[in-house]
Structure 1
């Protein structure tokens, strides 16, 4: 039986937050899917478990158990980026490894590595040390069975363990708590009520009963533990980044010559992408200037492509708008590829709107005026009006999708609507919560406030126990007929102008 290793980096998202907020290490902290009272808790630290706060609970329920509970949201892309970096570290210790279905767990083929590293103990210690230098804690267990090494790594949490024989790993792992093997909470609770608390007791259960009562995950773990499920290694393949560097004998400042040189080198990079069955997703252009300064530019076409002329057009637009203080001594080109995606031709002609042409036009605007020149308005995740929408860079044009049901509200012909909302509410020189009537809100021309409607209460972030927002909104109409949207901020003790109707 060939040896293998299980490397476990537990609670990756939680470790990311601990690195970002070191003070969270001393208090109860959790990862939630959204920072709302009904947000579901995904991961918890040791202090939270001591207060009986467990994954699957709601954030509000956790706060009821510990009022000092801290919570954070970690984007999946951030977790994925760290897992890719961890994969690169593993690549320095073994050419063959794969990621398990569980986040932060890797299987590593260690066959033949013992003589190279002076034993598997030194191999494991070196790997865990490298991961620790990267900023994460990890456990590495070398053995002969996927299940047994996995269960031991989950139980160990941090450090190394090397089994000399398969019999040794079976004997040690069977005494471990069943909580360490990744069973679902409901299944674990049901087994605990039956008095089944160790891995050995779980392994001795009849297979038919496990499959009938506890679902697919428990069945798969049970078969792995009994040695009935043998899975081949499917190692990850990491391809080197495609880049090239051009050094100039003399400083270069002419855009036309720079473009000609870039064109010559770009063709070779595109051929390499084509050999990988990839399209160009993004081109990174780095101009190294005399004196050591660099100008870095990311050029992204409207859609992944290998069209050399279209890419060069975007490069030309970017170069023509650059102001380079000194000559260019070298140019670095890096390309990022994505798997080819070929669309089937439509049987019937499409609509008159050409979305691809529109996306290409936006790509030209971004290349000429910068990535922040094309933005998309998206609905925000907040009760606070100024945070109810956000602006994000966008690259593609999408047709508006009509909602299945439209709500029609009958309004008087002269009804005023809020047209302008300020991103930053304007503080007003009024620090007392008094009736608005008679207040000169916006100059003598508008006249005093003659009518006010409210208050309309907005409360947010009370669950974070900091930066709580409590506002009383009013609609104030002046003598001239202007309608202003103002609010009284209870925490700051001041009035603010937030918008106006036209």
Structure 2
């Protein structure tokens, strides 16, 4: 019989949160729907469950049970990123890898042909399980004969197992509690009323009556676990990197000669992109040093994805002029991040334009190459309670042409609230009013802001204050510290 391996990473969103927040180690954890008090709890750790925190309750209610609880949302994009990371790692152990469409923490792997490379299925499974630990995740690897039965066994172990025969797989899977099989809550509750406790109990139910009483999804699960329905494996194709390597003999550390070597490799890289009808979105440059020194890695992004090797080479020159290499370079590796070829890249004459956004974008790319990716940034609004947390700085890669709204009147410009990098403290007089130079002539407020009640209890009373010189300040009084701070000013 053909074999199938199941890699199961239970509660993947919770494990991603634990990996992304190492400072929360040892604390009860929960994944919530979003960052607000009434957000639902989606996943809970075992320590949180022992405290009484349950999936489905509100975050505020969970905090009422335990103030030690730590929770945060985990975006779907982040889960997909970690999952893609695992799928890429599994391609080192088999060319046929399939992530499960319904279960984010499950990956199916075909072990066919791997025994000749690893010596035995046991060593192959142990290698995969060790790879899981290298990614700071835990779970199980079970090599069986039937998909869903192998997964059921994987839900009960935390190591690598190779099932000897199909009868053993059938017996072990039949003992698994249905509570471990991630059934829909309504179906699990209904089966508990019927006294169905294990997978064997579930498979003993008549399939026809199961479909009539609980719907097609329950009938499909029955068919999958019983083996009546066998889904063919649809592996994902491993992305082959587009990379060029060049040896330097003898090793060199001169920027001009390194650039000359990069030039030849870069043209070869662009020829590989042309053969696939792709453009270069980013260039990953890795310099391997002699003497065992750590490799030096740089990522350069041109203004837009293109096949213009000259502009990319200019970015490499700017970056090489700013870095200091600890040793001489003995190997250069260029890897392309491909992108679809846009139609605008095929235009021979762009015409005459008073403003050229592409020229500004090329200038930004040169600044990033010379001074780093954080050289040019812009503020991106965030959903947060405190004003200083309502934005974050992100690198700028493109320039958009500004457009005036139809109802904007140039004779009546809008007021601009300028925030300071950090609130500046102000002294207060005997009456508790803020003191500054020039003095404040008039104040309007307060406008109370209360946030973080579940963590730090921040309470601020915001005021607009006009100084004698006409400046309009935006300030607040911190209730906990009993101090005044200037948050910004209005222009």
What is the TM-score with the length of structure 2 in the denominator? 0.83
What does 1:169-318 align with in structure 2 at a 5 Å threshold?
169-207=169-207, 217-238=217-238, 239-240=240-241, 242-247=243-248, 249=250, 251=252, 253=254, 255=256, 257-276=257-276, 278-286=278-286, 296-318=297-319
2-side partners of 1:174 and 1:288: how far apart?
Answer: 53
Q: 1:496 aligns with which of 482, 485, 490?
A: 485
**Structure 2 Cα separation of the partners of residues 112 and 323 of structure 1:** 46
CA contact (8 A) 2:251 2:290 kept: no
- How do 1:470-481 and structure 2 match up within 5 A? 470-481=459-470
1:88-487 aligned within 5 A: 88-101=88-101, 102-113=103-114, 117=118, 119-156=120-157, 158-207=158-207, 217-238=217-238, 239-240=240-241, 242-247=243-248, 249=250, 251=252, 253=254, 255=256, 257-276=257-276, 278-286=278-286, 296-319=297-320, 322=322, 329-330=329-330, 332-338=332-338, 340-342=340-342, 358-398=360-400, 417=415, 419-430=417-428, 434-436=431-433, 440-441=435-436, 443=437, 446-447=438-439, 449-463=440-454, 465=455, 467-487=456-476
Does the aligned pair in 1 maintain the 2:368–2:374 contact within 8 Å?
yes
Confirm or deny: 8 A CA contact 2:266 2:334 kept in the other structure: no
* Secondary structure at 2:10 match in 1: coil
Q: Is the 8 A contact 2:262 2:332 kept in 1?
A: no
In the alignment, the residues of structure 2 paired with residue 367 and residue 153 of structure 1 have an alpha-carbon distance, to the nearest angstrom, of 48
| Per-residue deviation, 1:146 | 0.8
RMSD: 3.9
Work out the CA distance in 2 between the residues paired with 1:227 and 1:475. 71
Q: Distance in 1 between matches of 2:343 and 2:268?
A: 26
Given that 2:253 and 2:325 are in contact with CA atoms closer than 8 Å, whether structure 1 keeps it comes out as no
The secondary structure found in structure 2 opposite 1:371 is coil
Q: Secondary structure at the match of 2:306?
A: coil
- Alpha-carbon distance, 1:6 to partner: 0.8
Give the secondary-structure state (helix, strand or coil) at the position aligned to 2:463.
strand
Aligned partners of 2:134, 2:414: CA distance in 1, in Å?
61
Q: Name the CA distance, whole Å, in 2 between partners of 1:47 and 1:324.
A: 48
* Cα offset, 1:228, TM superposition: 3.1
Cα distance, 1:261–1:216 mapped onto 2, change above 3 Å: farther
Report the CA distance between 1:331 and its aligned residue.
5.8
| 1:60 and 2:51 matched | no
Separation in 2 of the partners of 1:254 and 1:93? 39
- 1:382 Cα shift? 0.9
Q: State the distance in 2 between where 1:92 and 1:392 align.
A: 34
Which residue does the alignment assign to 1:39?
A: 39
Aligned partner of 2:4 in structure 1 is 4
Q: What is the CA–CA distance in structure 2 between the aligned matches of 1:151 and 1:431, rounded to whole Å?
A: 70
The CA deviation at 1:48 is 1.9
Deviation track 1:166-212 (CA, whole Å, cap 9, x = no partner) reads 23322332332222222233333343344434323333445556556
TM-score (norm 1): 0.81
After superposition, the Cα gap between the structure-2 partners of 1:310 and 1:204, relative to the gap in structure 1 and judged at 3 Å, is farther
Q: How many angstroms does 1:489 deviate by? A: 1.4
Alpha-carbon distance in structure 2 between the residues aligned to 1:250 and 1:197: 67
Measure, in 2, the Cα distance between the counterparts of 1:145 and 1:293.
45
| Distance of 2:48 and 2:140 partners within structure 1 | 22
Structure 1: how far apart are the matches of 2:45 and 2:35? 17
Contact 1:451 1:476 in 2 (8 A): yes
Q: Bigger CA drift: 201-210 or 66-75?
A: 201-210
Task: Decide whether the 8 Å contact of 2:287 with 2:333 is kept in 1.
Answer: no
Measure how far apart 1:84 and its partner are: 4.3
Q: Say if 1:282 and 1:299, in contact at 8 Å, map to a contact too.
A: yes
Length, aligned pairs only = 482
* Cα distance per residue 1:422-471 (max 9 Å; x no partner): 12000123397x442xx541x2xx23x333222211122222x2x43221
Query: 2 CA distance for matches of 1:71 and 1:47?
Result: 13
Instruction: Work out the CA distance in 1 between the residues paired with 2:78 and 2:285.
Output: 24
Q: 1:75 to 1:399 in 2, by over 3 A?
A: farther
Q: Give SS of 1:470's match.
A: strand
8 Å contact from structure 1 (residues 11, 43) kept in 2: yes
